[in-house]
Amino acid sequence: MVGARGIGRRLAALWRDQRGAVLIEGLIIFPVLMLTIAAFVNFALVMFKLNQTVKAQEIGARLLAVSDPVVTDISPLTADFGAEAGGPVPETPVSVSCGMGAAACDTTRLQRLMTGSDGLCGPVAGTLSGMCDFAPRLTADDVRITYHRTTLGYAGRTGLPVLVVTLEIRPLDLGLPLLGRLIGRERLELPVKPVTVMGEDLTSCKNACP
């Protein structure tokens, strides 16, 4: 039978034994390290897709500012022009929208907004770029365009009164392929701030568009 002194010696030797300490530390740190790596990778993917979408939105807004209106009916913007040509624009605020959650847009003009002059998603040298040239997953169903009439300009001016154009995009539904399984959430919905620009004459081309 081992005496009390022998047991004490064994316990003291076990306390001083450092074998396996590194393995235990590694097992503790490994999940934390994997979680950190997954968070960085997923954050980079989210930021990349968000930057793609924001760039496409900026391009789309600039294109809308100098293109024929994509709404099919622009009469609400000019219906109350009771003043003679050269008179002031009525002060009543008027807006018309098309796209996501609103009336349908003009198919041809909306397609040109999305794909540019080549009709394809993906940048092509020498062609007018569209929104999906920068964000390939973006579709026409994800955007809404609104024209707001300002009090600038005058009734009877060439084209439409001065308009402010707002381009909205559906919130991004992003997957979390690595981090999702660790935190129990596979998808992330990220809102995208609308872009508003001052429209110009809203005429795509003087003659036929390229």
pLDDT, tens digit, 9 for 90 and up, residues 120-156: 888 787 788 899 999 988 999 999 999 998 877 666 6
Quick check: 89 and 154 in contact, CB under 8 A?
A: yes
Give the residue-averaged pLDDT of 75-100: 80
Q: What's the pLDDT at 194?
A: 94
Q: What's the pLDDT at 41?
A: 81
> Of 25-34, 114-123, 179-188, where does the model show the most confidence?
114-123
Q: What's the pLDDT at 47?
A: 86
Give the residue-averaged pLDDT of 35-58: 86
> Please, what sign has the CA dihedral across residues 199, 104, 140, 41?
positive
Q: What's the pLDDT at 182?
A: 64
Mean pLDDT for the chain? Answer: 81
Q: Look at residue 195 and tell me whether its pLDDT is greater than 70.
A: yes
In angstroms, the CA 58 to CA 133 distance is 12
Identity at 107, one-letter amino acid code: T
202 confidence band (pLDDT: 50, 70, 90) = confident
Q: What's the pLDDT at 103?
A: 92
Q: What's the pLDDT at 12?
A: 64
Is this prediction's pTM over 0.85? no
Give the residue-averaged pLDDT of 49-56: 90
105 confidence band (pLDDT: 50, 70, 90) = very high
CA dihedral 168→170→175→181, nearest 10 degrees, is 110
11 confidence band (pLDDT: 50, 70, 90) = low
Quick check: 159 and 147 in contact, CB under 8 A?
A: no
Give the residue-averaged pLDDT of 89-94: 82
Quick check: 186 and 200 in contact, CB under 8 A?
A: no
**Nearest in space to 76 (alpha carbons), one of 100, 92, 99:** 92
Half-sphere exposure of 71 (CA within 13 A, CB side): 22
